[in-house]
Amino acid sequence: MVESEPLLKVEDLQVSFKTDESQVRAVRGVSFDVYPGETVGLVGESGSGKSVTNLALMGLVPKPPGRIDGGRVHYQGQDLLKLSDRQMQSIRGRRIAMIFQDPMTALNPLMTVGQQLTEMTRLHLGLGRKEANRQAAEMLELVGISGAEKRLRDYPHQFSGGMRQRVMIAMALSCEPDLLIADEPTTALDVTIQAQILDLLRDLQQRRGTSIIMITHDLGVVAEICHRVLVMYAGRVVEKAEANALFADPKHPYTQGLLRSLPRFDQSADTLEAIPGQPPDLGNLPGGCSFRPRCPLAIDACQSRDPALMNLDGRHEVACLVAQEAVDV
């Protein structure tokens, strides 16, 4: 997988939002690659910058108050950040598609599911009404919705939460994109439906070779579907690793804390270990390492230095002075 050229290459992406009080740096120098046919997970607490990173990739950061302060996003020989809105419209939904977090708000309640599915293919693929309807029915069947032709005439409120999520996946895949961005696609779904959605994404990826960016705070989802993982904290990537290596030997104290907070079968709910404290205010970040106020391993140097990512062992890149010093020793 990594022997090929990256499908998407993000370099030093920086995004901020202007508020009445300050300039909030929501994404601070994020860099990563996505290769053909792989799933990359973006993990972290709410406010870590996961969703804003991917809104920037899609050209959907609201301006104002948002602003792209720097960086490059290379896709098929062009920098997406330099494209006009019209140029991005030809890529968004056609080459890079997104499954939004809440299907009830992402779907238009006043349009039938069929109208919303065919709108994409008629716009991007130039299909006629009859051909677009036929393809829309095929896509609903592909994502496991029975009676597809009849259900094209239904409205979003006539579908369950799991079915609406399947409709969103069908819409995102209807133009056969190279890259699918899935923003918390299993949030608020019960465990059985979550498993079905993940199985569906994995099956579609294997059949179509689609690359996936999976945005989630759920490490169980990461273990289930992701090849590589980026752990984000306070707008930065603090650890990168293959999924197996990350779970076997997490290097950053924040990643270790996330894994310790996972429930286990042999553990009661009242013994779960929470990460102490709260994520920092991005408009007023502490000096040095942003995780220092919550870190049980912090040393004096963490107060003045905000470490860059460093490759430790060929398997992990980590932004942590303690982990880096352990390797140097």
Q: Which domains does the chain have, with CATH numbers?
A: 1-95+178-193+210-263 (3.40.50.300), 107-176 (no CATH)
Element (H, E) at 77: none
pLDDT tens across 117-166, in order? 999 889 888 899 999 999 999 989 888 888 999 999 999 999 988 889 88
Cβ neighbours of residue 154 closer than 8 Å, sequence gap 6 or more: 112, 113
Closest by CA position to 103, among listed 155, 51, 25, 50: 155
Position 106 scores a pLDDT of 82
pLDDT tens across 206-254, in order? 888 899 999 988 888 899 899 999 999 999 999 999 999 999 999 999 9
What does the pLDDT average to over 100-123? Answer: 87
Other beta carbons within 10 angstroms of residue 5's beta carbon come to 10
Global confidence as pTM: 0.89
Cβ neighbours of residue 88 closer than 8 Å, sequence gap 6 or more: 58, 59, 80
Q: How far, in Å, CA of 193 to CA of 207, rounded?
A: 21
Residue pair 273/260 in contact (Cβ under 8 Å)? The answer is: yes
pLDDT tens across 275-327, in order? 888 889 898 888 899 999 999 999 999 999 999 999 988 889 999 999 988 76
- The model's confidence at residue 3, banded by pLDDT at 50, 70 and 90, is low
Position 329 scores a pLDDT of 47
Q: Which ranges of 174-278 would DSSP assign to H, the alpha helix?
A: 191-208, 219-225, 243-248, 253-260
- The model's confidence at residue 265, banded by pLDDT at 50, 70 and 90, is low
Q: Which amino acid is at 86?
A: R
Position 67 scores a pLDDT of 94
Q: Which ranges of the chain would DSSP assign to H, the alpha helix?
A: 50-57, 85-91, 103-106, 113-124, 129-142, 148-151, 161-173, 191-208, 219-225, 243-248, 253-260, 321-328
Closest by CA position to 43, among listed 223, 205, 164: 223
Q: How far, in Å, CA of 28 to CA of 33, rounded?
A: 16
Reading across the β-sheet that carries 211-216, which strands appear in turn? 96-99, 179-183, 211-216, 39-43, 228-233, 236-242, 316-318, 310-311
Complete DSSP assignment for 21-44: S-EEEEEEEEEEEE-TT-EEEEE-
Question: What are the φ and ψ backbone dihedral angles of 14, each rounded to 5 degrees?
Answer: -135, 125
Position 144 scores a pLDDT of 84
Q: Residue 218: CA atoms inside 13 Å, Cβ hemisphere, count? A: 17
Say if residue 192's pLDDT is above 90. no
Q: How far, in Å, CA of 129 to CA of 127, rounded?
A: 7
Q: Which amino acid is at 310?
A: M
Q: Which residues pair with 213 in a beta bridge?
A: 40, 181
Position 270 scores a pLDDT of 60
Q: What is the mean pLDDT of the chain?
A: 89
- The model's confidence at residue 60, banded by pLDDT at 50, 70 and 90, is very high
Q: How far, in Å, CA of 274 to CA of 259, rounded?
A: 10
